C-alpha cells in the first residue's frame, strides 16, 4: 500500500533528505492516498499531465477550499520553452533546467509575470547519449553570470539535479553520483554568495536512492517504489 511505503521511507530516510513522490503516469487518487499518509511534495515530468492534475485539484477546491492546501509540485521532465505557461505558475521548483535556451526562457517568463522562479540545474553525467544537460563548465558560467550580472534576476538557483547512468553496475552509479556531488560542491565553493540558496543535491530514484544518500543527496525522487510500475 502507498501509505505503508511512504511511512517506511520516512522512517529510514535521514531527516536532511526530502522525499519527492514522483506521481507521473499515476492517477490523482494515488496522489490523494500519498497525501493522506503525510506526503507533501509531488513531481511530474510532462506538462499536460501536471496541468490536468492541478486542474483536478482546483475543481475539488471549489467544494472544499482548503483541500490539500499545502501540496507542492515539482517539475522533473524535459521542458520545452513553448510549454512554460503550463508549468511555471503551478510549481514550487523546476528541477530539470537542462539548457541555456530553457534558462533564458524562464528568466523572460519570470520578468514578464513578476515572479522569481526556483530552479535546479541539471548537468549531464550519465553515459547515455543525449543533447540535454549542462557540462560542469556551463554551470559555473551560468552561476558566474547570476552573481556578476542582472541576467538571471528572476531565477533563484537552489542546486543541482542529476541522474545516474541506467545500469545495474554500482561502480558506474557511484561514479556518476560522485561527479554530481563534485559539481554541487564546486558551485558552493566558487559562489559563496549563492550558497545560502544553493543547498539541494537532488539525486536518487527508486533503484538507487540508498547509494545517492551516501553521496550527499538532499532530495530523492521516488516514483515506482511508492506508486508501482505503470505507463
Ligand X SMILES: *Cc1c(COP(=O)(O)O)cnc(C)c1O
How many chain residues bind ligand X (CB under 6 A)? 13
Instruction: Decide whether 2 or 205 has the Cβ nearer to ligand X.
Output: 205
Among 30, 105, 205, 213, interactor with ligand X by CB under 6 A: 205
**186 versus 206: smaller Cβ distance to ligand X:** 206
From 3-11, 33-41, 64-72, 205-213, span contacting ligand X (CB under 6 A): 205-213
User: Which of the residues 24 through 53 are near ligand X (CB under 6 A)?
Assistant: 24, 45
Among 22, 142, 146, 173, binds ligand X (CB under 6 A): 22
CB of 96 to ligand X, least distance (A): 6
Which range touches ligand X (CB under 6 A), out of 10-18, 166-174, 179-187, 217-225? 217-225
Q: For the segment 61-90, give every residue that binds ligand X (CB under 6 A).
A: 76-77
Span from 6-14, 56-64, 179-187, 200-208 in contact with ligand X (CB under 6 A): 200-208
Min dist. Cβ of residue 206 to ligand X (A): 3
122: left (phi > 0), else alpha (psi -120 to 50), else beta?
beta
- Phi, psi (5° rounding) for residue 11? -75, -25
Residue with the CB atom nearest ligand X in the bound state: 223
Question: Which residues lie near ligand X (CB under 6 A)?
Answer: 22, 24, 45, 76-77, 205-207, 221-225
Amino acid at each position: 500500500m502507498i501509505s505503508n511505503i511512504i511511512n517506511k521511507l520516512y522512517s529510514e530516510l535521514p531527516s536532511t533528505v526530502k522525499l519527492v513522490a514522483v506521481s507521473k503516469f499515476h492517477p490523482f487518487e494515488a496522489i490523494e492516498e500519498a497525501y493522506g499518509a503525510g506526503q507533501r511534495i509531488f513531481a511530474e515530468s510532462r506538462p499536460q499531465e501536471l496541468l490536468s492534475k492541478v486542474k483536478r485539484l482546483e475543481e475539488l477546491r471549489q467544494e472544499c477550499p482548503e483541500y490539500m492546501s499545502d501540496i507542492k509540485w515539482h517539475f522533473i521532465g524535459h521542458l520545452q520553452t513553448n510549454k512554460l505557461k503550463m508549468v511555471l505558475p503551478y510549481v514550487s521548483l523546476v528541477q530539470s533546467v537542462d539548457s541555456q535556451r530553457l534558462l533564458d526562457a524562464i528568466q523572460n517568463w519570470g520578468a514578464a509575470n513578476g515572479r522569481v522562479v526556483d530552479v535546479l540545474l541539471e548537468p549531464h553525467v550519465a553515459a547515455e547519449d543525449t543533447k540535454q544537460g549542462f557540462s560542469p563548465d556551463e554551470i559555473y558560467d551560468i552561476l558566474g553570470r547570476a552573481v556578476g550580472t542582472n541576467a538571471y534576476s528572476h531565477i533563484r538557483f537552489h542546486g543541482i539535479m542529476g541522474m545516474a547512468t541506467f545500469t545495474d553496475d554500482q561502480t558506474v552509479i557511484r561514479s556518476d553520483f560522485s561527479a554530481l556531488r563534485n559539481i554541487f560542491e564546486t558551485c558552493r565553493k566558487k559562489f559563496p554568495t549563492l550558497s545560502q540558496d544553493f543547498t539541494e543535491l537532488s539525486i536518487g530514484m527508486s533503484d538507487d536512492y540508498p547509494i545517492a544518500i551516501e553521496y550527499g543527496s538532499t532530495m530523492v525522487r521516488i516514483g515506482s517504489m511508492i506508486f508501482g510500475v505503470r505507463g
